[in-house]
Amino acid sequence: MQTDSSFTFVLFGGTGDLSMRKILPALFEAHRAGGMLADSGKIVAVARHATNRGEYIQWVNEHVKPHVSKNGVDETAWASFLERIEFVNIDLGKAEDFVHLRDAIQDLPGIRVFYLATGPSLFVPICHALASVGLNENSRIVLEKPLGYDLKSSNAINDAVGEIFAEEQIYRIDHYLGKEPVQNLLALRFGNALFEPLWRREWVESIQITIAEELGVEARGDFYDNTGALRDMVQNHLLQLLSIVAMEPPHSMDSDSVRDEKLRVLRALKPIDPRDIGKVAVRGQYHSGVIRGTSVPAYATEPGVKHESATETFVALKVEIENWRWAGVPFFLRTGKRLADRVAEIVVNFRAVPHSALGASALRAGANRLVIRLQPNETIRLYCLAKQPGEGMNLASVHLDLAFDQFFREGQMEAYQRLLLDVINGRLALFVRRDEQEAAWRWVEPILNEWKASNKPPKPYASGTWGPAASSAMLAQHGTYWLEEEN
């Protein structure tokens, strides 16, 4: 991915956790690789927790450097990366301070990218302040989630930002869309004739999408207790992954062609009747338990969490898509904190053979499945049955492993690195369009409203397990189970 595109990358929240762990390390990896970032490109950090460039560079050395390059830091590349970095100290709450930002970047070359790695309450004030000094013209703006608390607040932010930036200037980031296996899912589906005939209701029994975390809310109790798993993970990450799995083939990979097909899936999601939410939606909250030999506390005792909080830390859903390709195929979505393992994966369970002359094992659920693992190790595996060596016709599960690191010499690109390069180069396909976001909120809101109205507490589950038993019972009603033994 070579580029000659010059750029000025302005990073709001330059001393925040996201900048420290993801954004600056991703920009360094692109810089270190050579040719991905134009030599003239500049990074301008905006923050209040440093007073000058020297202090900020010291902060970068102390806090960012430990997060870059798993195999050690190339000191020469690191030194040249630091030369790209400039610093501006302004108060984001004071529009008049943005004159200093304008003066600092007005002579810097290339397209201007404004990355808002801040809380969503600052999105609109920052955009208005940028417009007040003319910095919204010929620029791009990147918005991190969460973009709103519900459909109304999301529309309010989008309306306000949309008055200042055109839709083609707005990059709503979802880092799961930048992961290598998600890109390979598109290649697998649309670059090969092998899977397309099978990718439909006649041959697919069910699909699972899981994003599980071992961590709790950590130091984010105040934020998380007002958000919950449905808003934090389902409305964006999980529904975006679902739309990519289920979308029709686009006529090309340009940004609107891809996003048009994703939107059709989101609009085809079967609305959930409030009377049925108890059957198709499970919410839970972690209690104390043990993870990898260490005792961990209950959610209710985490710092920043309200006493007797009813916020969910786990969600499992049964989703249906009302179109010809997927009618009748259940999509099971699951996400949670303090679960038994850290894993993100998509599991496509194919239907069993209609009649088996080889015994009952050929008829069991999940005999044929495709597993796309997004984290921690990114792989794609196709599971099927084969004869065990020896007498008789005894079948056992085997798999074909698409080991990309063995086929390709170059290392896999991290999600943020790919997405930041796409912003710099003006590629919108992997970013969420406003109408996609609205469709996702419309589908999610009835669940949120019913949970709020019911006053029923989330189901408890012990930390270090796979969530409430009701989650497994929901799949058992459809003759299937969560894929956990492979994790």
Strand partners, 349: 206, 369
| pLDDT score of 390 | 79
Helix, strand or coil for residue 143? strand
DSSP 144: P
Amino acid letter, residue 442 = R
Are residues 379 and 231 both part of a single domain?
A: yes
Q: How many CB atoms lie within 10 A of CB 405?
A: 12
Tokens read off for 128: 């208005």
Alpha helices in 303-433 (DSSP H): 404-407, 415-424
Res 410 pLDDT > 80: no
Torsion of CA 322, 326, 327, 332, to 10 degrees: -90
Torsion of CA 233, 236, 242, 245, to 10 degrees: -120
List, for residues 8-34, the tens digit of each pLDDT value: 999 999 999 999 999 999 999 999 988
Are residues 112 and 220 both part of a single domain?
A: no
Expressed as residue numbers, the domain containing 113 is 7-144
| pLDDT score of 47 | 87
Answer whether residue 191 is part of any domain: yes
Q: How many domains does the chain have?
A: 2
Are residues 139 and 181 both part of a single domain?
A: no
Question: CB-based contacts of 398: which residues, under 8 Å, 6+ apart?
Answer: 383, 384, 385, 386
Instruction: Single out the residue in 121, 144, 167 at which a domain terminates.
Output: 144
CA-based R_g, the chain, Å? 24
Q: Look-up: residue for tokens 């909250």?
A: 285
Q: How many CB atoms lie within 10 A of CB 138?
A: 9
List, for residues 33-71, the tens digit of each pLDDT value: 888 999 999 999 998 877 899 999 999 999 999 998 766
List, for residues 332-358, the tens digit of each pLDDT value: 999 999 999 999 999 999 998 877 777
List, for residues 378-405, the tens digit of each pLDDT value: 788 899 888 888 777 778 788 888 776 6
What is the rounded average pLDDT of the residues 62-91?
Answer: 90
Does 458 sit behind a cis peptide bond, omega within 30 degrees of 0 on the bond before it? no
Are residues 309 and 216 both part of a single domain?
A: yes
Helix, strand or coil for residue 89? coil
- Least confident range from 13-22, 64-73, 106-115, 130-139: namely 64-73
Tokens read off for 394: 């005894």
Residues designated catalytic? 237
Instruction: Please check whether residue 286 is in contact with residue 313, taking contact to mean a CB–CB distance below 8 angstroms.
Output: yes
Instruction: Single out the residue in 101, 121, 144 at which a domain terminates.
Output: 144
Alpha helices in 106-249 (DSSP H): 123-132, 151-162, 180-190, 221-225, 228-229, 239-246
Are residues 240 and 109 both part of a single domain?
A: no
Alpha-carbon gap, residue 147 to 120, rounded angstroms:
6
List, for residues 163-191, the tens digit of each pLDDT value: 999 999 999 999 999 988 888 888 888 98
Are residues 236 and 137 both part of a single domain?
A: no
| pLDDT score of 485 | 56
Are residues 181 and 140 both part of a single domain?
A: no
Instruction: Please check whether residue 65 is in contact with residue 106, taking contact to mean a CB–CB distance below 8 angstroms.
Output: no
Res 359 pLDDT > 90: no
The candidate with the shortest Cα–Cα distance to 326, out of 480, 212, 207, 477, is: 207
Entry pTM: 0.92
Question: Of all helices (H) and strands (E), which one includes residue 287?
Answer: strand 281-287
Helix, strand or coil for residue 118? coil
